[in-house]
Amino acid sequence: MKIKFNGQIIDTSFESSLEFFIHHSKDENDVWIVNGFATKMDEKLKENDELFCIPRNALPPKEALDSMMRARHTPRLHEKLKQGSVAVCGLGGLGSHIAIMLARSGVGRLRLIDFDVVEPSNLNRQSYMVEDLGKFKTEALKSQIEKINPFIEVCIHTLKIDEENIKDLFVGDAIVCEAFDSAIAKAILIKNLHKFFKDAILICGSGLAGYGDSNSIQTRKIANNFYMCGDLKSEAKVGRGLMAPRVNICAGHQANLVLELLAEAYEK
3-class state of residue 94 by DSSP? helix
**Exposed, middle or buried by CB within 10 Å (0-12, 13-18, 19+), for 133?**
middle
Q: Is 60 left (phi over 0), alpha (psi -120 to 50) or beta?
A: beta
CB 200 within 8 A of CB 228: no
**132 and 117, same structural domain?**
yes
**158 and 99, same structural domain?**
yes
pLDDT recorded at residue 238: 67
**117 and 244, same structural domain?**
yes
Which stretches of the chain score pLDDT less than 70?
Answer: 237-239, 266-268
Q: Report CA 114 to chain centroid distance, whole Å.
A: 17
- Boundary of a domain, candidates 51, 73, 95: 73
Q: What range does the domain containing 62 cover?
A: 2-73
- Boundary of a domain, candidates 73, 99, 130: 73
CB 33 within 8 A of CB 55: no
**193 and 89, same structural domain?**
yes
pLDDT recorded at residue 28: 84
**224 and 143, same structural domain?**
yes
Residue 15, number of CB atoms within 10 A of its CB: 12
How far apart CA 102 and CA 259 sit, in angstroms, is 8
**116 and 147, same structural domain?**
yes
**94 and 58, same structural domain?**
no
Specify the number of domains making up the chain. 2
CATH code at position 32:
3.10.20.30
- Boundary of a domain, candidates 73, 95, 114: 73
Question: Helices marked H in the chain — which ranges?
Answer: 17-24, 62-73, 75-83, 93-105, 137-148, 166-169, 183-196, 244-265
CATH code at position 232:
3.40.50.720
**18 and 108, same structural domain?**
no
**186 and 169, same structural domain?**
yes
pLDDT recorded at residue 68: 75
Q: Report the predicted TM-score, pTM, of the whole model to 2 decimal places.
A: 0.84
**94 and 142, same structural domain?**
yes
**10 and 47, same structural domain?**
yes
pLDDT recorded at residue 253: 97
Query: What are the DSSP calls for 44-88, one per residue?
Result: B--TT-EEEEE-TTSPPPHHHHHHHHHHHH-HHHHHHHHH-EEEE
**118 and 8, same structural domain?**
no
pLDDT recorded at residue 36: 81
Q: CB under 8 Å to 177, separation ≥6 — which residues?
A: 86, 87, 88, 89, 95, 98, 203, 254, 255, 258
pLDDT recorded at residue 135: 98
